[in-house]
Structure 1
Amino acid sequence: MRRLRHILAPLILLPAAAIILQCAKIEPPPGGPEDKMGPSILKTSPSAGAVKITSSNTVSILFSEGVDHRSAEAACFITPLTDKKPRFKWHGHEMYIIMPDSFAEKTTYIVNVGSSVIDYRNNKMAQSFQFAFTTGDSISDGKTAGMIYQGINPAAGITVGFYDTASNYSYKTFDSVIPEFLTVSGSDGKYAQDFLPRGKFVSLAFKDINNNRRFDYPDEDYGIPNYFVDISPIGISPSIDFYMRRTDTITATILSTSLTSDRLIRVRFSGKLKAKNLAENLKKISMSAVDSSGIILHPSSLFENPDDTLSSYSFYFPNLSEGSWRFALSKECFGSLDTSNIEGSVMQIKFGKDEIQPEIISVSLSGQTNFPDDSIIEINFSEPIDKGFGADSMAIVKLTDSSIVPAVWQWKDDFRLDLSIPARWGESYRLEINQAWLRDMAGNLGGDSIKTYSFKTYSRDSLGAISGTVSRPHNSDSTYQIYLIFSSVPDHKVFQEKLTDSTFQLSLPGGKYLLSGFVDRNGNQKQDLGSLTPFELAEPSAHYPDTVRVRSRFESAGLDFIFK
């Protein structure tokens, strides 16, 4: 009997093992594909467009799925804004917004839900949502829309406020005024504001960090519009775009001031300063005599010290004399709207003998290939140069056969010299700088050797052509110049073309490009993003929606560039 049990045991286990193996068969994990779809809004109460709403103080919004309550409450606001914040309640997927008071008579309410609402898997709403209802008989039908950019990329979650144009606007005004209407850009950078009444508004884009529905200068990034919002009788304002910019809140201090052997005032700052801001504000930089004379000097030029790990500049004061002096500059040089000064310690200026040779710091076109009409050579020196010494002998441009190319000299300042040459297609050039003819203000020569720098121009065979038409902005003055900008991908080399009419045809090196354009209202040949104080509109601009491809020795025709 015992033997029979031993024989039957394996036979009994075989079916069980088969069942276990069958149950262990490998199958795909349960639950299907990962949920990457953000929530949407299914229903509202009052319904969108409802009129003659009776007395109430509650708005409800039903989402398509469960959402993070905090993100939804932060993303939701109703205009007109109230002094007291609304309360929120939830029932399942439905959010209830309870206003502090009953709806006012004959008032249109606009409910906004920003695209920052997330579900339980952190998926965001694809677009912001806006609807309106009124306690009156009708809802205004004015509309405006556009794009918001951070650099060249669309900017999501940016608030756009709309203000009455009756005020004289500056950053202080925007900081203290609650917008009459508000909307938020979606994940694609697009924004839209509906239900605007007839009239004119000024808009402002800002990153509402503290969620208080107003622009807080200087803590929040902002964008200035390229047009006023003008709700005409047809009810639609043309597209208005914004380019976000960061308020420069540098709180730099002066770490040290010193006199160099070249008789320059070297200043080291605690924060990074932009050379452009300093160069544009030389009259707001000074050396003041610490005596009864009241003498104040301003620098004629400056030079950024490349070998310093901190922000360091050398300033040239031509009439500086020995004695006690104090260096100062306005905070406006930091890009700030604050006009107060920061000052260095009192300096005792006593000149020693200058025996330091001037040096060539950089030559702009060296090692590059350029278009013939871009052949302006910028030479940067380590200290102010004696412009009257050496005349045209210091720098000579030659072709490969050593023939001399005529050059026009232009000193940009004491440190920088521009050479313009009549360059030709497909040529190689050599710049020779004879350091024996390079002399600083103390009489020191640069040396006795000749330094050479080479560059080329494109050959026509290496280029491709691109042509098309340009549609001007709707209300742009026809006398304003339009520029197209081709930025190569991925190295971002920029080619800018001035248009003479509504068509264009130009040659470019083969490759892929991002195309943009702007209307040059002030004639400075660059795109200006507007100003808060004094308030100035940004220059109209546009982006081509696709990457542009240029093929060498071929023409790509039929490109239509449209300013909306």
Structure 2
Amino acid sequence: MGHTPATDATDVPLYEPVVIEFSEGMERGRTREAVFIAPRSEVEYHWSGRKLELTFDGGLKADQTYVITVGTDARDRRRNALDQSFTFAFATGSQLNPGRIEGRVFRDHAAASGARVWAYEMSGFAGEVGAELPDYETQSGRDGSYAFERLSQGIYRILAFTDRNRNGRHDPGEFLALPSSDVTVQADRAEERAGDLILTERRAAAPQLERVQVLDDRRLLLIFDRKIDLSSLQLSLKGLGVVGRYAAPKDSRRVYVLTQRQEGGKQYSIASLEVEGHSIAWDNPLRGSSRTDQKQPSLEAQEPPDGGATTGHSLTLLFSEAMDTTAVTGIQWVETDSTQAPAGSWQWAGLLELVFKPTVPLTPGTYRLRARLEGLQDRAGVALAGSTAGFEFAVLSESDLAAIKGTVRKFDQEQQPAPTWIVAQGSKAGRTYRAATDSTGAYYLGGLIPGNLAVSAFEDRNGNGDFDGGSLDPFVPAEAQSVREGPVATTPGAVVADIDFELR
């Protein structure tokens, strides 16, 4: 990518054209939207072939550093996006601002590319962060990294978001990452590193109820516009009792409500519905059904999965719908491949989840088991589709389990001391492991099923045991978190050392 003025040019004439020349033809509208200018200026854009010319209203300002960024949303005509944002700077005075801030953006332990990253210089800012446009703007690259170049001295507050509707602003419901602290650019230390920005889902003011459907004589289906916190749902029906509720195993936007037996053709209504503290109105009547549920429930998943590994403390079956939790006694193990059927008991852990608890933990070795699921049925009395469930897994001994260790270094000494947690998540079965650091910042996390792990560290400032992403209004900083780039590979019986983190 070529451009004029040249990188770090000084004493640029106030009416010199600013031109960006791409190596190939570009998607003009999408590329234009990805051009960011600091300081924010009134600019006209004109395309001529592969060249984009920027004409500043009234010309450039005297003694000013300009930073031009082409973000990763810029695309060529084959819709190939930039791997990294491209930035160049120039000055109309004799010198450029020296500051630089770099950092990374993550979502679900993975690098987040294409996120909008904003920087506010806070010394003279009296507005609302996130609502007003920033002083500097860029986008994260394919590896989640970003950089702000040629910054003036000052205190900067940085945030990132996914601009799902491409309007150039953060809107309710879009993923948002807030900083754990501001970053100071000083004259004698021009380059600074910001703490990792962690994109978290920000729920809109209230979930929207999109549809209510009467499925049969004992069930309703509520469909929301986003996944909800099921534990917060409170529902009452006029003329009909509610006896339970559960979310669909693979889509938590869909909530099934178990009712008393309905009277076919009778009109019911939602008397009150509250979700996440918000009252939701639904005025459409519900017509009762006399149709009974005829669909057979099915087995959705099991833990450990086929070919997986476990420590031998439990086995779990997950079903597609609410089951009759009184029907457990018919389950029997069928011995296969000369494997001893384990002693223990089956226990319901919820309407959908059935857990086998061995009398004693399973001994290390390879298991091939089959359970005869006789007597299992849903709440309408419809028998389970399929009469058996097979398990094939390995139970690991203590010596086969893996471990990681390292240290966590904290840079913000002004914060009150807070517990620091290491969190590791398995890539296959999704197991999550946790350990706290000691007073020196050292940690040891053992008992791990070998495999690849996504590992991070966070400072639990509010003491609730979970990472808190902060809030925009009122502004509350996020808890400091650092994400390990790439998975940590663990092997049986080995300790992976030097898995270190820096919290900023």
* TM-score under structure 1 length normalisation: 0.63
In structure 1, the partner of 2:40 is 81
In structure 1, the partner of 2:248 is 304
- Do the aligned partners of 1:144 and 1:193 also contact (CA within 8 Å) in 2? yes
SS of aligned partner of 1:560? coil
> Which of 350, 361, 365 is equivalent to 1:423?
361
CA change 1:498–1:225 in 2 (3 A) is same
In structure 2, the partner of 1:18 is none
- Do the aligned partners of 1:259 and 1:349 also contact (CA within 8 Å) in 2? yes
In structure 1, the partner of 2:220 is 266
Query: For 2:84 and 2:467, how far apart are their aligned partners in 1?
Result: 29
Shift of 1:88: 3.9
SS of aligned partner of 1:145? strand
SS of aligned partner of 2:303? coil
SS of aligned partner of 2:133? coil
Shift of 1:483: 1.0
Q: Give the structure with the higher percent helix.
A: 1
Tell me the alpha carbon deviations over residues 295-322 of structure 1, each in whole angstroms, 9 at most, x when there is no partner: x97664225399xx9x865312469899
Give the greater-gyration-radius structure (CA).
Answer: 1
Alignment of 1:151-162 (within 5 A): 154-162=111-119
Tell me the alpha carbon deviations over residues 350-385 of structure 1, each in whole angstroms, 9 at most, x when there is no partner: 8x9x89999785673376444227626356485464
Tell me the alpha carbon deviations over residues 408-463 of structure 1, each in whole angstroms, 9 at most, x when there is no partner: x5x55455455555524416596968866x79889x7979x996765655233994
Query: For 2:90 and 2:426, how far apart are their aligned partners in 1?
Result: 45
> Which of 479, 491, 497 is equivalent to 1:558?
497
In structure 2, the partner of 1:198 is 154
SS of aligned partner of 1:81? coil
Give, as a single letter, the amino acid of the residue that structure 2 aligns with 1:86: E
In structure 1, the partner of 2:176 is 223
Query: For 1:273 and 1:348, how far apart are their aligned partners in 2?
Result: 26
Give, as a single letter, the amino acid of the residue that structure 2 aligns with 1:315: V
Unaligned 5+ segments in structure 1 are 1-38, 290-295
CA change 1:78–1:479 in 2 (3 A) is same
Is 2:310 the counterpart of 1:371? yes
CA change 1:367–1:185 in 2 (3 A) is closer
- Do the aligned partners of 1:366 and 1:453 also contact (CA within 8 Å) in 2? no
Query: For 1:105 and 1:363, how far apart are their aligned partners in 2?
Result: 66
> Which of 124, 144, 151 is equivalent to 1:189?
144
Query: For 2:301 and 2:38, how far apart are their aligned partners in 1?
Result: 57
Q: Which has the higher contact order (CA 8 A, sep 6+)?
A: 2
Q: Give the structure with the higher percent strand.
A: 2
Alignment of 1:497-508 (within 5 A): 497-501=433-437, 502-504=442-444, 506=446
Query: For 1:431 and 1:420, how far apart are their aligned partners in 2?
Result: 15
Shift of 1:479: 0.9
- Do the aligned partners of 2:44 and 2:55 also contact (CA within 8 Å) in 1? yes
CA change 1:482–1:324 in 2 (3 A) is same
CA change 1:237–1:103 in 2 (3 A) is same
Is 2:243 the counterpart of 1:287? no
Give, as a single letter, the amino acid of the residue that structure 1 aligns with 2:144: G
Identity of aligned residues (%): 15
Shift of 1:181: 1.9
- Do the aligned partners of 1:324 and 1:349 also contact (CA within 8 Å) in 2? no
- Do the aligned partners of 2:230 and 2:247 also contact (CA within 8 Å) in 1? no
Alignment of 1:8-87 (within 5 A): 39-41=1-3, 44=5, 48=8, 50=10, 56=14, 58=16, 60-61=18-19, 63=21, 68=26, 70=28, 73-82=32-41, 84-87=42-45
> Which of 287, 295, 305 is equivalent to 1:347?
287
- Do the aligned partners of 2:313 and 2:362 also contact (CA within 8 Å) in 1? no
Shift of 1:179: 2.0
Shift of 1:485: 2.5
CA change 1:300–1:538 in 2 (3 A) is farther
Give, as a single letter, the amino acid of the residue that structure 1 aligns with 2:425: I
Give, as a single letter, the amino acid of the residue that structure 2 aligns with 1:112: T
In structure 2, the partner of 1:469 is 406
- Do the aligned partners of 1:466 and 1:557 also contact (CA within 8 Å) in 2? yes
Query: For 1:127 and 1:305, how far apart are their aligned partners in 2?
Result: 38
- Do the aligned partners of 1:542 and 1:562 also contact (CA within 8 Å) in 2? yes
Query: For 2:293 and 2:184, how far apart are their aligned partners in 1?
Result: 69
